[in-house]
Structure 1
C-alpha cells in the first residue's frame, strides 16, 4: 500500500524570526519512502516567491541547519524573513496496509529490567503530571494484569471517559485538566492515557504524524494526528485513546515525552498562522487517489505548533 501525505502551512511574520520545523517523516521510515519527504520553505512578498535556504541532512556531513533532536526526530532550523512564509512538502511511503496490531500477550518488563533510554518515558513531563496521578491510577488499574491487558484498558478507559470537543482546546491543558474536565482534543486524550500508563510503570511516549481516512469513512478536513506508544515485549507498540479501534495508514513523524517535544513548527517570535492544509491518503502505483469510504463525521481542523513570544511563553494550536 502507498500512502501520500502533503501539507501547506503559511505564516505572517512581523519581523525576521528564527524557526524550527519538524515536518519530515521519522528517520525510521527512510527505507519506506518512495518519493518526496523534502521541506520547501518560501518567502512570499506579494506575487513574488523566493526560497529560504535550508540545508538538507546528510549522515556523512556536519548538519548546519538540519539536525536530529535528543529523541531522534528530524528537525530543520532556518531564519525566516519578515512577511509571508510558506512551508510545504509531500511524501509517498510504502506500507504493509495492515491495521494496528493487537498484541494481547505482550508482557510488561519490571522497571529494573527496562533499557536505560526508556526510563525517561516513566517520568513526569510538561503535560503529563505523573506525580499527581499515583493513587488515581492505582485505584483504577492497579488490580489488573500487567502488560497489554492493563495498557489497553487504560486506553479504552480514556476513550470512554473523555468527550471530543475542538472548542475546548488550549495549549496549557495538562493531563490533570483533562481528567477533571473530561473533554478535550486528540492530544489531550493521549496525554491522559500516557500519564496513567506511566503511573502503572508502563513506559509511554507521545507520537505525532499522519492518520488519514484510509479505508475508513471520511471524517472531514485532513490534519496531523496524535497517538502514543507503550513499551512492551522490548519494543514500542501503537496505542490511540482518541481512535481506539485499529486503523490503517499511520505515518510517523516524531515522538517525545509529550506534545511539547514534537511541535510541528516552533517560532522564536510572533508568527501568525494564515493558511493550514494537511492531507494523507492512499494512492495506487500510478498516483491515482483511493477514495475514503462513504460517510462523514464532523471534525474541526487542528494545528500542532509552538509559538514562543519575546517573553518566552509557549503558545500554540493543539490537536
Structure 2
C-alpha cells in the first residue's frame, strides 16, 4: 500500500509535537517523497485488520486564507516549467469535456483572481453537497452533469474550469476543522480544496465553502485525487473504520 497520511513538508516547521504514522501490528514502513513533493509511505500489510493512526499538535496563525485580488494571471509562455502540468487534463479533471462551456461562461470575467473567484462562485452554486452520494469514480464532468457531490467534486470541477481558462490549478487534501465557523452535522473527514498559480505564487481557493477559512493544514498536492489518495492498495482491501478529529487547542487561561 502507498499511504499519503503525513502532513506536507511545508508545514513540518509548524509542528509542536512529532507527527508519525503508527501501526497496531508489526509492519515495516519506509518513507519517500513523490514527484509532487508530498511525504508518502510504503507498507506491505499482512492479512487481517490493521489500524493506522497519527496524532499531533501543530501551530497555525489563526488567520483566514489569503485573499489577493491584485494577483495577476500569467501568459502561458511566462509560466515556470514545473507549473505547466497543472494546465493539463488528468484522471478526474476532464478538461476536454468542459472547455467549450468554460469559455462560454467565463470569457468575459476579469483575468486573474476575479476569474478564479467567478469559477468558485459558479461551482459553489452548481453542486449540492451530499455526503451520502460520494462517488470515487465521479469526474469533474460527472459533478457538472449530476450537480451533486462532496468536497473533492467541488475541487475537481473548479480545477478543471480553471485549467480550461489557462489558469494552473492543483488539487489539495488536508485537515480543515470547524474552526471559526459553526460546526456542521456531518462526520468529520479530511477536506479537499485547490490552489491556483497567480502572480508567481500558489493561492488557496475552496469552491465548496467559498469563503476564507481558518486552520487549514495541508497534507498533499497533485493533479487530482489520484495523486493524493490517502491509501492506494495493490490487492483486495476493505476500509472498516475511518475517524478524523481536528480540534482547536485554546490557550490556557491565566489564573
Normalised by the size of structure 1, how large is the TM-score? 0.77
Q: How does 1:124-203 map to 2 (within 5 A)?
A: 124-203=89-168
Q: What is the rounded CA distance, in whole Å, between the counterparts of 1:53 and 1:129 in structure 2?
A: 37
Provide the secondary structure at the position in 2 that maps to 1:276: coil
* Secondary structure in structure 2 of the residue aligned to 1:156: helix
- Paired residue secondary structure (1:198): helix
2:195 matched residue in structure 1: 229
Q: Is the contact made by 1:27 and 1:74 (CA closer than 8 Å) also made in structure 2?
A: yes
Q: For residue 13 of structure 2, what is the aligned residue in structure 1? A: 31
Contact 1:36 1:89 in 2 (8 A): no
Kindly state the Cα deviation for residue 164 of structure 1 after the two structures are TM-superposed: 0.9
Q: CA deviation at 1:210?
A: 0.3
Q: Helix, strand or coil for the counterpart of 1:226?
A: strand
8 Å contact from structure 1 (residues 207, 228) kept in 2: yes
Q: Is the 8 A contact 1:37 1:90 kept in 2?
A: yes
Q: Distance in 2 between matches of 1:20 and 1:135?
A: 36
What do the CA deviations read for 1:149-181 (whole angstroms, capped 9, x no partner)? 001110111001111112222111111111111
Map of 1:68 onto structure 2: 33
Q: Which residue is 2:245 aligned to?
A: 279
Gaps of 5+ in 1: 1-18, 44-50, 55-64, 289-319
* Contiguous gaps of at least 5 residues in structure 2: none
Segment drifting more, 248-257 vs 131-140: 131-140
Mapped partners of 1:256, 1:53: distance in 2 = 26
Higher strand share: 1
TM-score normalized with structure 2 length: 0.96
Structure 1 segments of 4+ aligned residues over 4 angstroms from their partners: none
